[in-house]
Amino acid sequence: MRTTAAVLRAPETEYELVELEVADPGPGEVLVEMAFAGLCHSDEHLRHSNPGGRYPIVGGHEGSGVVLAVGDGVTAVAPGDHVVTSFLPACGHCRYCAAGRANLCDKGATIATGQLPSGRWPFLLDGEPLGGFCMVGAFARHTLLSEYSCVRIDPHVPLDTAALLACSVPTGWGSSVYSGGVRPGDTVVVVGLGGVGVNAVQGARHAGALHVIGVDPVALKREFASSVGATRVVADAGEAAALARELSRGTGADVVVVTVGVMGPQVMAEASACLGKGGTLVLTALGYRPHDGDVQLRGQVTTVFEHRVQGALFGSCNPFRDIPMLARLHEEGRLELDRLITKRYPLEEIGEGYRAQAAGETIRGLLVHE
């Protein structure tokens, strides 16, 4: 099958629309016609570097679509099913899946290259095999996925909002609920209120936090965070640290979730300053390049105050458990999804979508595959 896709040919270049060939589904594989794809900041990271990966590569990992065909042995989905992509495949059988840590599934070993667990490449561009980012390639009109990356959803769930369940919503929500372990009565600080951070706010409120302080220099994002559960919003982490101590009556934040677009030492230092005794610092953000996100801890403070630093990949969520659950929360009116989509773009305007994101003009941009 021939299809259109947004491809990065090399680091520090712009997305280029090309026509390429999509492979037919082999054993354990699923051919999907994509409907929507979220403009996640991780794909902007891909534009700068792809550690352990390769170029060219089809961008996009947050999406939804309809199954067109399945390969031998596929039983989880069938042609006509609506699916959400999981940028972290989950086989259900490896050591990590069996231990309840599906976000660390062994089948995710090749997400940087986009090579499928079967060893096949999903796309051909001018005769050259290439992969899709995170084994998805949601910026292609049609894509070939592992069945481990396809989460079936009920057909009445709108595919536009469902696309956000592929990454930003569970990553943010789970960063508070699972990775951070927010409990009733906690004081929580969320640093960065973009597409992931506002969902960390929603997760903290669902978990029963008494105070949720949102931090972002962009007024639009602070205002939106207030509408989905932030009890206070401020422009910088220094204000948040003082406010956390005030609201907690002197101790500081129980949980700090870092969801900024680009991680770095200064962000780490400012976020750490918000923590109270026994607090947990959740690192969800990444740097553009392997060492950009390197951070340091103040050893004395970490030891004496028993601070805990927790990485968060996909918010420690299980895609096959949590994506349908979050869809149900939305259906019951307990999780905001619709208003997360600030603007929609056709594939040829992907550059404009990322320009708007960098300018702080969107919570989430959404690509619409015509």
Q: Who contacts 252 (Cβ-Cβ below 8 Å, separation ≥6)? A: 187, 241, 244, 245, 274, 275, 276, 277, 279
Predicted confidence (pLDDT) per residue in 18-38, tens digit: 999 999 999 999 999 999 999
Token pair of 184 as six digits: 């009733």
pLDDT of residue 289: 66
- Domain 2-166+336-368 superfamily per CATH: Medium-chain alcohol dehydrogenases, catalytic domain (3.90.180.10)
- Model confidence at 282, pLDDT cuts 50, 70, 90, reads very high
User: Is pLDDT above 90 for 263?
Assistant: no
- The C-alpha atoms of residue 14 and residue 47 are separated, in whole angstroms, by 7
pLDDT of residue 60: 97
Q: Domain 172-313 adopts which CATH fold? A: Rossmann fold (3.40.50)
Q: Which of 34, 66, 35, 14 is nearest to 132 (CA)?
A: 34
Q: What is the DSSP letter of 148?
A: G
User: Is pLDDT above 70 for 291?
Assistant: no
User: Is pLDDT above 80 for 287?
Assistant: no
Report domain extents, the chain: 2-166+336-368, 172-313
pLDDT of residue 49: 85
